[in-house]
Chain A
Amino acid sequence: MKFLINYLIIFTCFGIVFGYAQESQNNILKNFESGNYTVYKLNDKEKFEKVKKTWPVNIAKTGDNVSQVLVKRSGILDEPFTPDVPGYPAYFAYKTFRLSFLKDYAVYYEWNGKQQATTKYILVKPSGSFGSNWETTNKNVAAYATATFKNQTGARANVKEAKAEIAEVERKVNSLEGKAVAKIEIQLVSKPAKVAHFSEAINYGVVASLKDGSQLKTSNLGGKIPWEDFKLNNEGCSNTRETVRVDEDASKFPNDEIVLRLSSVYHPSLKAEKKIVTTNDVSIRVNRNGFWGHDRRKHMAITQGLDGQHAGRGDNLTVKVKTVKHKQTEGSINKIEIYNETKGKTVARYKLSLDTELTINAVGGQGMNAFDGSSGRPDGGHGGNGGAGGNVTFVKDPSAVKHNIKINTDGGKGGKGGAPKYSSASHGRTGSSGDNGTLKTETKNVTLNF
């Protein structure tokens, strides 16, 4: 029987605490009024001590909801605390400080990302009392706040809904939805100097002319038409809003132009298109080099002693080039394809003007420098060997009379030997340089499918 009574008492207490924990600040504050609150501050020994003067606290309400708690610190500094979620507040916030009312008092605390509270002050209401210690107060207020956060779903949804409503009103004002639109046009924010692989971004916007003669624009042209109003279908560049970049793969722009193309979501018959001819004149460097000795661990399991690690060899490549006519300007350009034989993958398809430089590096990696001798092993370690250069086959179509392609297949340098620990010990030897790769040039008919 006694056990049952104890159990009931515990259960009741738990129920009270749990029920209490679910209450929002709006409910709890029904038991609080504006007035002069007794303040306890935390001292250096992490104990609460009473502050001489009371602090005025002013609770402002809008209907049943508390809209603001103004704490006048020491009666002179105004600290306006506002609810975190107006319909169901767990706390009132002022800068990084929070204020949660519990029982007879308010806890003035800081909060961290680990859901922990650090109490700074306790503000006790005129008729109230407070007798807890710092640690317990921190735990209680954190438990209350986290429990209340879980119950804020509805109120948060309301806030979200209210924000969404405002955004929707804004969207409708600026959207083409429901408006009589005569035409839409693509306008470049600035004219690009070069249109090529790796050239600078091309920024564009949309201008919609309405039948009443007015115009609406996207944000980057000074207007507010939402980009969601348009369906993009760009070619030869990324299919992205506002900013596009020329595709790195030349097969994506077979007609030597990029096409910005979009249609109106709300007026599907309205379409806009802008073609930009490629200039193919940005220099490119392609690196397919061997890894350096100190990166060897990323490529295979290694055992590291005093000796430096050997470097990797450059990749074997096949480079094909063919000169064709630019489909828009009729000028000559080179189509270039680089196939990585080592990785079994086409790594580049470019279209470049005849003078534009393309540097292809398939050089060996540099060997890792050795460690200096130690008391256990006085001799300096040996430097890692440099990697060999890749073997490159350069296939030129008979049409490719002129090009500016440079291919490097040098072997990598060896790493330096380590210094001896003592003068009697020996210096490690420098790693040997990697062999240069071969460069085989062939002239034969080349077929490039782009």
Chain B
Amino acid sequence: MKKQILLTAALSLFLIVGVSNTAEAQFGKNTKKALGLGKKGKNKVKKVKGKKGGSFGEFNNETDALGITGEYFGLVDTRAFGFRFVKEAEGKIVDELHYFEKKGDEPQLKMDMKESYHRKNQVKLFFKWMSASASGYVEVIEVAPGVLAQIKGDRSANDYDTPIPVDAKRTVVDVMAKNKADLDTWDIETVQAKVDMIIGALKGAAGDKAKKQLMKYDVYKNYKGKIAFTKGTNYLRNQKANQPTEKEANFITKRELGETVAFKPYFDKPLEQSHPGAWFNITYEMASVKTDREALRKSSSVFAKNIPQIDDDQDKFYFWYPKVTINTSNNVADYAFLELLRLIQDKLQAGQTYDLKVTVWAYKDGANIDPVATGTIQLEYTTDENGTKKRLFEPVQGWVSKIEDVLDE
């Protein structure tokens, strides 16, 4: 009886283990090996070499709507593989790319096509999430007729039904070609460049889509190429990308000099599109005097330390984090603006109002190339005893006093 129980238990365990190793898991393992993704896969590639694979020549006799189906040869993993594009299955449109590394009817991997990329941009991109981590992502892009790039990404899964976004880093890990001779031309570097080109085009298309979406927001539509000013950064923050939900009602055109002024520029195009290779610079101009963040950074170690380069947001239509001239709530200020106040302090008069022109520039190789957003706010030197004079010139806490102290050091 005991023997029978033990036997039954052992059989059950075997069945459980067996069931959990269904086709899906098996595909993942083999494909990982074949694609060289993940440590385990990498380690085992050599062991399985020669045991599997074979000829898929008969695939070349098939035709499909995209012209992909056929036998392929790898550049890194030099075995032969089979790829079959399946448009329809069981009466449904599926648009799948089936990948074979072993002979048989069942593919080792079924990848989905990103249909909109093909429909709008004629890009044949297939992908599969085998797990949620970045290493579980497999992507194939056709870079030329009969040449496929195997790609790994740097993003984990957000949605199993979509490929990694266009701004993710894609690295070509192998190239597969129907014609072995093509592999001489299409080396990894060249394919990587081609993939970058393809993704660049998709990025451009994604940018157009984002722009279309942004134009639905009055704030972007009305302030494109301009700078909006508010009394605090909280009025300009957003929760989601390309959804500028800030209210124009909170924008200001006049403020007491010495008080908090936050600002946000809105660009016609992201800087990486309008000025590739450039980054941002900001200039402040008031009472006919101008200060320039980048010029100040190069003028002294004090400014170099306290004026960080603005090298974020090149891919965005506006600064994700608003900037400030002065923020009294956390005692933060832009040193370039404080330097402007220091330079013009003798010109400032109580009761007067001054135009502050703020310009955000595309900056490259030590020069401002083009303005990408501009705005003007009026700053009033108030006459109150505890107004502007105190905020700027109070011996210890005054903003001008503070920068003078820093520069005197």
Chain A contacts to B: CB under 8 angstroms: 41, 51-53, 73-77, 79, 84, 90, 93, 95-96, 98, 111, 113, 145, 149, 152, 156, 198-201, 237-241, 243-245, 247-248, 298, 343-346
Contact = CB atoms under 8 A, between A and B. Distances in A.
B385 A344 contact: yes
Given A240-B378, A345-B385, A345-B386, 13 more contacts: A51-B189, A74-B187, A75-B185, A76-B185, A113-B279, A113-B309, A199-B249, A238-B254, A240-B253, A240-B254, A247-B254, A344-B385, A345-B387
Contacts of A245: 251-254
Contacts of B194: 77
B378 A95 contact: no
B386 A74 contact: no
Contacts of A90: 365
A201 B367 CA distance: 35
B159 interface: no
A251 to B, nearest CB: 11
B341 to A, nearest CB: 20
Given A53-B184, A245-B253, A344-B385, A200 B248 contact: yes
B276 A96 contact: yes
Contact of B366 (A53, A95, A149, A198): A149
B253 A73 contact: no
Nearest to A247: B254
Interface of B: 144, 184-187, 189-190, 193-194, 197, 200, 248-249, 251-254, 272, 276-277, 279, 309, 311, 329-331, 353, 355, 364-367, 376-378, 384-387
Contact of B378 (A75, A76, A156, A239): A239
30 contacts: A52-B184, A53-B184, A73-B189, A73-B193, A76-B185, A76-B186, A79-B193, A84-B364, A84-B365, A90-B365, A95-B200, A98-B277, A113-B311, A145-B365, A149-B365, A199-B249, A201-B251, A237-B253, A238-B254, A239-B378, A240-B253, A240-B355, A240-B377, A240-B378, A241-B376, A245-B252, A245-B253, A247-B254, A298-B330, A345-B385
Contact of B277 (A111, A201, A241, A345): A111
Contacts of B251: 201, 245
A51 B353 contact: no
A76 B366 contact: no
A395 B334 CA distance: 42
B193 A201 contact: no
Nearest to A41: B189
B197 A198 contact: no
Contacts of A113: 279, 309, 311
Describe A's contact surface by its main secondary structure: loop
Contact of A53 (B185, B252, B329, B386): B185
A91 B329 CA distance: 45
Contacts of A152: 365, 367
A52 B376 CA distance: 57
Report the 8 A-B pairs with minimum CB-CB distance, sorted nearest first: A238-B253, A74-B190, A238-B254, A345-B386, A240-B253, A96-B277, A345-B384, A245-B253
B265 to A, nearest CB: 15
A51 B353 CA distance: 65
B197 A77 contact: yes
A74 B186 contact: yes
Nearest to A111: B277
A48 to B, nearest CB: 13
Contacts of B355: 239-240
Contacts of B277: 93, 95-96, 98, 111
Contacts of B353: 239
Contacts of A93: 276-277
A95 B376 contact: no
B283 to A, nearest CB: 15
B249 A73 contact: no
Nearest to B252: A245
Contacts of A77: 190, 193-194, 197
A199 B247 CA distance: 12
A247 B253 CA distance: 9
A247 B331 CA distance: 26
A334 to B, nearest CB: 22
A346 B276 contact: no
Contacts of B184: 52-53
Contact of A74 (B185, B254, B364, B378): B185
A382 B377 CA distance: 46
B378 A238 contact: yes
A238 B197 CA distance: 48
A244 B386 CA distance: 27
Nearest to A95: B276
A75 B144 CA distance: 14
Given A75-B185, A77-B197, A238-B254, A201 B190 contact: no
Contacts of B366: 149
Among A238, A240, A298, A344, max chain B CB count under 10 A is at A238
A343 B184 CA distance: 78
B233 to A, nearest CB: 16
Given A95-B276, A96-B277, A149-B365, A240 B249 contact: no
A397 to B, nearest CB: 23
Nearest to B197: A77
Contacts of A41: 189
B299 to A, nearest CB: 15
Nearest to A94: B276
Nearest to B191: A74
Contacts of B367: 152, 156
B149 to A, nearest CB: 13
A152 B376 CA distance: 31
A196 to B, nearest CB: 12
Contacts of B272: 96
Contacts of A98: 277
Contacts of B248: 200-201
A145 B365 CA distance: 9
B253 A244 contact: yes
Contact of A198 (B187, B190, B249, B377): B249
Contacts of B364: 84
A415 to B, nearest CB: 21
Contacts of A198: 249
Given A73-B190, A240-B376, A343 B276 contact: no
Contacts of B197: 77
Contacts of B330: 298
Contacts of A53: 184-185
B377 to A, nearest CB: 8
Nearest to A78: B197
Contacts of A73: 189-190, 193
A344 B385 CA distance: 7
Nearest to A150: B366
Contacts of A201: 248, 251, 253
Contacts of A346: 384
Contacts of A239: 353, 355, 378
Nearest to A74: B190
Contacts of A95: 200, 276-277
B372 to A, nearest CB: 14
B230 to A, nearest CB: 12
A76 B193 CA distance: 11
A344 B184 CA distance: 81
Nearest to B277: A96
A346 B184 CA distance: 79
